[in-house]
Structure 1
């Protein structure tokens, strides 16, 4: 399979990049053949995203892909037991002995601090690899996660930002949002916009997602503050705290102000024209002053602008971006920013030099330049030179905040009773709805959730069959339909 991809590489590159794309740095074709084994999710994806370009430049390096797909194909083992994905991946590494592994941030941090990779700084110094143009703070962050040493480099990053409609702010004489605002500050800004008019025609201060429940908004604010409702490592509840009370109160005040727009979850389907679908977003149609979204939303706005170019004022044109709301305690971090596809060289690699050649190329400005012309980029480039547009929007907002550590340690969460997350989420919905409806105080709701959470933590894990039955009962309760297992034939 990989040979087919390599043969197709030159054709694909010519048709997508056309002439005049100088690669530079190509090795002499007579160079000594080398073998390189890379662990990645699947072979096809690897060669499309990285391998074709690299193999065109370095044909003497033969790449074999060790696919990790088999690890994730089933949620349970052969006898129904739970799969330990971390162990399964390590077993695959031990068996295949790849030179390079691709990791997410959690995997990188754990394995780096266990000393399983080669430090890249000596290679960087030897090759005088230029790090000046990389995303600010990225190298320091990767070192921090590696216990002080640089064991890997990401090939891209993703993040969310706060979009704002400059024309609407000007119309109502309201100051523009700025970088590093808190959730409370953004909501106060949203509340300065008028709230009169019919739902489908009025102006909203902020489009806040797809969940109008107090639970959904409070959890979003709590996440930005680095709060979790449970400490899975110690199996203790952490929801009954001042931080959570502030998140719930902030969310409550925001919802009651009617300044926020929420998508109707009961009307998510769409069978009409795609361009009309784009206008369902009130920010796109000039009916929301702010919204939180990722870089893909820029493409959606441009598509709407092109289609409705003759309809003046129908689509937002005068917009800009600032950083997503942050926590006062973590003003330079965001839980909505993360580095993608971190590549590291394994400690036992026998082809470390070739492995570094691969990592240094996909981390180079040259690779970023070439990939900026293709359509299958994996998030943003790690080179800020290619994170900009011709209209001068504040694209620096995408990389100004460094990733915050996830509020939820999912590996540790797997050690809790299987039913904990599902049942506690349901409890949160119920308790916070009582607060939203004015039937309970935030203090009482948080105290009740603390108690219910402790009761769940003390339970034994349910079986998969019992979990499935719980899901069926929950679905039946929400939809008003009888659960399949509840039908009794006499």
Structure 2
């Protein structure tokens, strides 16, 4: 149903643009009578046209598009080498446009398998000044100094806050670029008495209500990692991680944090109407001072204001996600959507550039800004609302690649799942007071290193496989 709704919205918007004679982007090439083709990698054909391709195809009738997907259709196989399968897919299908993760972009850029896009972004009509801050620098970081891919949208989290609650209790409003310590201290200034479904809470961090999860969230913002994937060393037993988990434990034990119910409803409530459904979130019903959340909650707030006006929050705003005081201008809580790159072997490189130009254009951003699906366009012109909320909180911090999952693809296949279980168990013991935190971290490191060695041994026992990217590189002409 959601997909059908998106198709309807995009389709209607696209038709209105075409009928008005509006050009989709100023920097694009004019339609030609000469036919060109594009093979584009995406999740599936239906999703591609509803999210990206419908308006593009209407405005570019001279381009024939074929959508290819590498999505697994059978049951999940934990022993399957997903990256090797991905590489084989690219080698066999040779799509013009490749959809990549951040790690995959780096790997393929190193192999020389992608077309450089720096020249395109420097074109006057591309107007890179309206892109979100740090986007191009981030893409250069992934590409080893050059831009090899771009994304049309990004996902970001921020701190939503209830102005009326802060006024009621005489507490200073939150600010952009707070540290995690400052955020917890602010939350703890609200009262902690009363029944769970009646009282006021200082802060909600979603489902990050367990020590390992919350510590990982805080550590990610401080550019910490629990392991070195290259040297295969576990690195959780460090002073930095100990400090992170101490901060997380203090916050969790303070009584100021609201814990999300896994069933999506406040504890003790009985959902009897649509109004109850809308107000199940304590932030929307005015019982929560701050919430760490994505933009998706804004749609829920609007619905509640329309259908439960007297009970829904009215006076709210946003500040940035907490930051590392040592790097206050960056955030790992901001991530890009699909990254699109051009296959260096493509014989349709100009058409491929035109497609990427289109999906990162200002006019495309204008159309998709109406969708309100929890993501944002990478163009800042449409990052605002009628109430003038602080939308800069979503994009003023520059994106950085989280070190928590750095070089994740270099780890033995089953190690991360095993290590997560080990760390969760040890940190729960520390949280429950069964052992000191320092002892729990030391134990997690020893057990984690043992798991790393065991999984490494399994890798060495397997027959050596050729690299798909190496095969692509061998066939790719120098650029």
Aligned to 2:67: 65
Offset of 1:301 from its aligned partner?
Answer: 1.1
Residue 44 of structure 2 corresponds to: 42
Aligned equivalent of 2:186, options 186, 189, 202 = 189
Residue 434 (structure 1) aligned with residue 436 (structure 2): no
Task: After TM superposition, list the pairs within 5 Å mapping 1:99-178 onto structure 2.
Answer: 99-125=96-122, 128-178=125-175
Which residue of the other structure, out of 389, 392, 404, is the alignment partner of 1:393? 389
Asked whether the equivalents of residues 21 and 370 of structure 1 are also in contact (C-alpha less than 8 Å), the reply is: no
Q: Which residue of 2 aligns with 1:92?
A: 89
Q: C-alpha root-mean-square deviation of aligned residues, in Å?
A: 2.9
Once the 2 structures are TM-superposed, how far is the Cα of residue 11 of structure 1 from its aligned partner? 6.5
Distance 1:96 1:48 in 2: 23
1:472 is aligned to none
Distance across 2 between alignment mates of 1:291 and 1:11: 34
Q: Deviations over 1:116-146 (max 9, x none)?
A: 2222233344563211111112112212221
CA 1:272–1:350 in 2, change beyond 3 Å: closer, same or farther?
same
Q: CA deviation at 1:421?
A: 3.7
1:337 and 2:329 correspond: no
Q: Supply the distance in 1 between the matched residues of 2:61 and 2:241 (Cα, whole angstroms).
A: 56
Q: Which residue does 1:382 correspond to in 2?
A: 378
Distance 1:47 1:127, change over 3 A: farther
With normalisation by structure 2, the TM-score equals 0.85
Q: How many residues align?
A: 446
Instruction: State how far apart, in whole Å, the 2-side matches of 1:181 and 1:11 are.
Output: 42
In the aligned structure 1, how far is the partner of 2:20 from the partner of 2:48?
25
**1:20 CA displacement:** 4.4
* Contact 2:294/2:374 (<8 A) preserved: no
Q: Which runs of 5+ in 1 are unaligned?
A: 1-7, 464-490
Q: 1:460-475 residue pairs with structure 2 within 5 A? A: 460=455
| Cα separation, 2, equivalents of 1:353 and 1:62 | 14
Map of 1:403 onto structure 2: 399
- 1:359 partnered with 2:381: no
After superposition, the Cα gap between the structure-2 partners of 1:61 and 1:127, relative to the gap in structure 1 and judged at 3 Å, is farther
Distance of aligned partners of 1:12 and 1:335 in 2 relative to their CA distance in 1, 3 Å threshold = same
Q: Secondary structure at the match of 1:86?
A: helix
CA apart distance, 1:158:
0.6
Q: Please report how far the alpha carbon of residue 440 of structure 1 lies from its aligned counterpart in structure 2 after TM superposition.
A: 2.2
Q: Does 1:416 align with 2:406?
A: no
Q: Distance in 2 between matches of 1:209 and 1:451?
A: 31
CA distance in structure 2 between the partners assigned to 1:12 and 1:36 by the alignment: 24
Deviation at 1:19, TM superposition (A): 6.0
Q: CA offset at residue 47 of structure 1?
A: 1.6
Relative contact order: is structure 1 or structure 2 higher (C-alpha 8 Å, sep ≥ 6)? 2
User: Contact (CA 8 Å) 2:162, 2:313: kept in 1 or not?
Assistant: yes
Q: Is the 8 A contact 1:27 1:58 kept in 2?
A: no
Mind listing any 5+ residue stretches in structure 2 that lack a counterpart? Answer: 1-7, 459-479
Q: Which residue of 2 aligns with 1:346?
A: 343
Does the CA contact (< 8 Å) of 1:9 and 1:53 recur in 2? no
Deviates more, 1:285-294 or 1:114-123: 114-123
Q: 1:197-242: per-residue Cα shift (whole Å, max 9, x none)?
A: 2222211111122353333322322222222322233222211111
SS in 2 for 1:69: coil
Provide closer, same or farther for how the CA distance between residues 109 and 413 of structure 1 changes in structure 2, counting only shifts above 3 A.
closer
Q: Separation in 2 of the partners of 1:273 and 1:258?
A: 30
| Residue equivalent to 1:486 | none
- Shift of residue 322 of structure 1? 0.7
Q: 1-side partners of 2:455 and 2:307: how far apart?
A: 56
Q: Which has the larger radius of gyration?
A: 1
The equivalent residue for 1:239 is: 236
Query: Hey, what does 1:327 align to over in structure 2?
Result: 324
Deviation (angstroms), 1:365: 0.7
**In 2, Cα distance between equivalents of 1:124 and 1:222:** 33
> 1:469 maps to which residue?
none
Q: Secondary structure at the match of 1:205?
A: strand
Report the Cα offset of residue 328 of structure 1: 2.1
For residues 255-266 of structure 1, the aligned pairs below 5 Å read 255-265=252-262
Are 1:226 and 2:234 matched, yes or no? no
**Which stretch shows the higher mean deviation, 82-91 or 59-68?**
82-91
Deviation at 1:443, TM superposition (A): 1.3
Name the CA shift for 1:49/1:265 in 2 (closer, same or farther; >3 Å): closer
Contact 1:49–1:377 (CA under 8 A) maintained in structure 2: no
